[in-house]
A and B are shown apart, each in its own frame.
Chain A
Amino acid sequence: MLPAGFQFSQSTLQDYVDCPRRFQLRYILRQAWPGVRTEPLQQHERHMDRGVQFHRLVQRHQLGIPVEQLERGLDEELAGWWRAYLGFDLLHSMLGRRYPEITLSADLSGARLLAKYDLLVVSPNQGITIFDWKTSLKPLRREFLLKRLQTHVYPYILARSGGGLLGTEISPKQITFCCWNTAAPSEPVIIQYSQEQYQQDESYLSGLLAALRAEVERGPAVWVLTADEHRCRFCEYRSLCGRGEVAGNFEEMDDFGDEIDPSVADFGLVDVEEIGF
């Protein structure tokens, strides 16, 4: 059974598409399993941290914190990314209200779908542009992007629930998805959304959710493991599934195999932690 209040996101759905068993372990059983995802661990972790720092830097900038206060203390790598971001004219020349780090959600076939956007720029006459920051090691490939759930979930949810931001109903063709990568800052991948794509996405996502539900209803049996064992090299459940001992090298990982699920990166409900006396 899915946990009460479960919300689907692009990363949870991507997990299901990549490996149903991984979805079952992570989200149905919520099984913590401390295997190594990728090696070298420290290098991977450092890269992830950098990604988080960069996202925060951009968020701060978009909220109006002066540039000179943001630039202090940046190391060479971050400073390089930062300069590239400041040179991203498409974004900086764009007029409209900016919503950094905003989360939207919509219901699809009785399931709640959620998307956490790095930045939405709402231009009353031009529509809404989704900006997504990537800090991948390699330049983005458009065809790879088109296969990722994110490319479909983000514009779809915006089309469903972004009308409030625009002040009027939003048409899919008013949505642009712009993926910008620090590894190739002058070559953002820009995807124009459309009514046709919206309908295809709705049908695809509904089908995916229906398949997932059917799987849930089948009960506690072990869900299908991915046929692509290469994926298992980058999965913490490798040993539980009997799919190898050693983690793969993170430089060989798919471009966004290390995305952070927004549901785990939110600190809104930080407790006053209970201290044991």
Chain B
Amino acid sequence: MARTRFIEGPAGTGKTTYAIGELRRLLDDGVRPEQILILLPQRSAGWPYEHAFTAPDWPDGAQIDLVTIGGLARRGLEIFWPLVAEKAGFAYPEAEPQFLNVETAQYYMWRFVNEAVQTGVFDSVNITPFRIMTQVLDNLSKAAINGFALDDVTERLVTAWGDRHSSRPPVYHAAQHVAERFRAYCLENNLLDFSLQIDLLVNYLLDEALYREFFQQNYRHLIADNLEEHTPVTRDVIRWAWDDLDSALLLYDTDAGYRVFLGADPGGGLELKARCDEAEAWEQPYNLPPTLGTLAHELGTLLDADRPRSFPAGENPRAGFTLEFCQFYPEMLEWAVNQVAALVQHGVPPGEIVVLAPLLGDSLRFALTTRLHERGIRTVSHRPSRAVRDEPAARAVLTLMALAHPGWNVHPPLLDVANALQQVIEELDPVRAWLLAQIVYRPGRIELGTFDAILLAAQERITYRAGEKYERLRRWLAAYQDEDAGTMPPDHFLSRLFGEVLSQPGFGFHTNLDAGRVVAELVESARRFRQTLYPRAEDVTDWIDISREYYELVQAGLLAGTYVASWQQVEQDAVFLAPAYTFLMRNRRVSYQFWLDIGSNAWWERLEQPLTHPYVLARGYPHDQMWTDEQEYFSRRDTLRRLMVGLVRRCQEHIYIGISNLSEQGFEQRGPLLQTFQQIIQRYDQLEEVP
């Protein structure tokens, strides 16, 4: 190979900028752009490249491929499916596969989990069937990205559990059994979840001569960015391609590794350094104020048990951050909002501000959004796995869906019906909507009552204009029951209800852009459900039961797709509200950061996942080793260190840190992050006192 380089360094040292420059050099040297492959750990890491490619001075030519390992697998399988389907044991190799996403995989997995739960095999772990399902799916993914067999997963978990409470190993075996049933079902029905896509890529596609030829002809130059966030299987693919490449540039962020819980293997990423002809370590970040440089060093040192403690030569970090101590949680939020407002007032673009918390729950998101909007400041937030059904617009539409299908014997509560009417009929306020719902809706009755049948006095109170809209909606639902019920899949029903009634002039969703986004998500989820579970629509004679199945799955909380619209809105000039890890994985730098509630243990705690384990289910972890409490403690410290250093290095001006003495629940908070900051403050206060 002509040139292979490995560049490592912390965030902000210019690695990605260098890679973009390197791309230009390759193009200038006559390399054809379609022969360059850029491997990224996840979609959001691609934005610097996407921006560069659309710059006016970017050379004309073919598009450069930006892919994740999931994208590489999916593309390969879409094209080369006929070569691998039979060998991999699919029951219908001549038919096209169905690609599952998390949401549609959950639909299938749900059946097997429920059956297992009913037998009592999961009784000894106190978690919901939904969480059992997500963790079994996680084990499947971990097996695929590490190259483990499913029974290796169980063996590792059982060994790591050691001689603790004896009820856990049977649960691991039960989880394996569920995973195996799911896998068998996928093979019988040409379904490809993420784990099976990776499995097919590694175990079948890479062995196909035609695929190798395709890959060799297409890709001669490789750039792998954020190598520390890639999974072991990505490294396997890089090794597989290595000898056929003309050049490779591998970039490694020394302080990162944030995706360990998704299977990233930072240690393994470093192994590729040995394959490269040149290796460079870059240390000096650009645009990091000296005060924050010292703060990053302090946090890195204090949270790293292996690193000798030394006073950095840099400036006093206290000028780099503001620490605000509040007694109560709302007080801290008010302080943060006031500070954000002051910054914006002084001309800071809202897009240069992020407000971060370890977790961003609905109530915190709502509290911040409402307060900032009251000050006229735009916000955008992203939280994965947000259930669409929780949005008021979606709940209204789902209530109407239930009302349109009286045969389901699903009787929405009166309050839900009133809320739905208030949402969708412009003229109805909560009082009128409640009054109307009380009169026209009787749980158990086949259809809604007519407006004409209401006493005149009540009609007047509700208003005739609202009554007219109500009648239009009622007649549409009645016509559907009489003429169309059974002929329409659930997504079509939702789409038509929205388009033909709810978003028409005079109805609540007309020009309601947020409602449009929410219902679009719901329709999309119903479409995926239908296309995946019932791909041969021509074989379905009656959609009523299928629509009901969809409705029930939504009610059970199985809609867990990421809120795509929010990702797209991140580009807006708005204050970004996010969990800290979400911000880090966007890999962007901003001027101002707000860290909320640093006394909370949530900054430090790992999610409770009794059926899986991100460290034990890693290729680098010894398969015969018990996971000890000491390991748990040090892994938490290390995770916190990476998180903190990563955040500081992505700040260009100042960090505002909010402390709430009492948590939202009223408990006193003294988490490890707060203690670390106390140490830093004490140390520098002492230094200042020294004459």
A residues bordering B, Cβ < 8 Å?
A: 3-7, 29-36, 41-42, 45-46, 53, 56, 59-60, 63-65, 69-70, 72-73, 99, 102-107, 110-112, 114, 160-161, 164-165, 236, 238-240, 242, 245-247, 267-277
- Known A161-B61, A240-B516, A275-B560: A33·B67 in contact at CB below 8 Å: no
The answer to whether B516 touches A33, judged by C-beta atoms less than 8 angstroms apart, is yes
Bound together, the chains give a CA A41 to CA B496 distance in angstroms of 10
Does B379 touch A at the CB level, under 8 Å? no
Does B29 touch A at the CB level, under 8 Å? no
Does B376 touch A at the CB level, under 8 Å? no
- Known A34-B523, A270-B74, A272-B194: A60·B62 in contact at CB below 8 Å: no
The answer to whether A242 touches B505, judged by C-beta atoms less than 8 angstroms apart, is yes
Bound together, the chains give a CA A271 to CA B141 distance in angstroms of 12
- Known A3-B568, A104-B62: A276·B82 in contact at CB below 8 Å: no
B95 touches which of A59, A73, A269 (Cβ 8 Å): A73
Does B120 touch A at the CB level, under 8 Å? no
Collect the chain A residues with CB atoms within 8 Å of residue B213's CB.
64
- Known A164-B33, A275-B102: A270·B71 in contact at CB below 8 Å: yes
Does B60 touch A at the CB level, under 8 Å? yes
Prevailing SS type, chain B contact patch: helix
Does B284 touch A at the CB level, under 8 Å? no
How close is B226's CB to chain A, nearest CB, in angstroms?
A: 13
Does B307 touch A at the CB level, under 8 Å? no
Q: Can you identify 23 A-B contacts, CB atoms within 8 angstroms? A: A6-B54, A7-B54, A31-B516, A32-B516, A33-B516, A36-B492, A63-B210, A65-B83, A65-B210, A111-B56, A114-B63, A161-B62, A239-B504, A245-B499, A245-B504, A267-B78, A269-B43, A269-B68, A269-B71, A270-B71, A272-B141, A273-B101, A273-B562
Smallest Cβ-Cβ distance to A29: which chain B residue: B513
- Known A30-B568, A60-B79, A164-B61: A273·B495 in contact at CB below 8 Å: no
How close is B584's CB to chain A, nearest CB, in angstroms?
A: 13
Count CB-based A-B contacts (< 8 Å): 201
B residues bordering A, Cβ < 8 Å?
A: 32-34, 40, 42-43, 46-47, 50-51, 53-54, 56-58, 60-63, 65-71, 73-75, 78-80, 82-83, 92-96, 101-102, 131, 134-135, 137-138, 141, 145, 194, 210, 213-214, 231, 259, 262-263, 384-385, 489, 492, 494-496, 498-501, 503-505, 510-511, 513, 516-517, 519-524, 537-538, 560, 562, 565, 568-569, 571, 607-609
How close is A267's CB to chain B, nearest CB, in angstroms?
A: 5
Smallest Cβ-Cβ distance to B58: which chain A residue: A107
The answer to whether B66 touches A269, judged by C-beta atoms less than 8 angstroms apart, is yes
Prevailing SS type, chain A contact patch: loop
Collect the chain B residues with CB atoms within 8 Å of residue A31's CB.
513, 516-517
The answer to whether B102 touches A273, judged by C-beta atoms less than 8 angstroms apart, is yes
Collect the chain B residues with CB atoms within 8 Å of residue A240's CB.
503, 510-511, 516
Bound together, the chains give a CA A276 to CA B360 distance in angstroms of 12
Collect the chain B residues with CB atoms within 8 Å of residue A271's CB.
42-43, 68, 70
Smallest Cβ-Cβ distance to A269: which chain B residue: B43
The answer to whether B32 touches A165, judged by C-beta atoms less than 8 angstroms apart, is yes
A110 touches which of B53, B56, B94 (Cβ 8 Å): B56
The answer to whether B131 touches A277, judged by C-beta atoms less than 8 angstroms apart, is yes
How close is A159's CB to chain B, nearest CB, in angstroms?
A: 10
Nearest first, the 7 A-B pairs at minimum CB distance are A276-B385, A73-B94, A35-B499, A32-B520, A161-B60, A270-B70, A72-B94
Query: With A34-B523, A41-B492, A275-B134 given, can you name 4 additional A-B contacts, CB distance below 8 Å?
Result: A34-B516, A73-B92, A245-B500, A268-B65
Collect the chain B residues with CB atoms within 8 Å of residue A107's CB.
56-58, 60
The answer to whether B42 touches A160, judged by C-beta atoms less than 8 angstroms apart, is no
Collect the chain A residues with CB atoms within 8 Å of residue B521's CB.
32
How close is A165's CB to chain B, nearest CB, in angstroms?
A: 7
The answer to whether B54 touches A5, judged by C-beta atoms less than 8 angstroms apart, is yes
- Known A4-B571, A274-B384, A277-B134: A102·B520 in contact at CB below 8 Å: no
The answer to whether B384 touches A46, judged by C-beta atoms less than 8 angstroms apart, is no
Bound together, the chains give a CA A45 to CA B94 distance in angstroms of 22
Collect the chain A residues with CB atoms within 8 Å of residue B492's CB.
36, 41-42
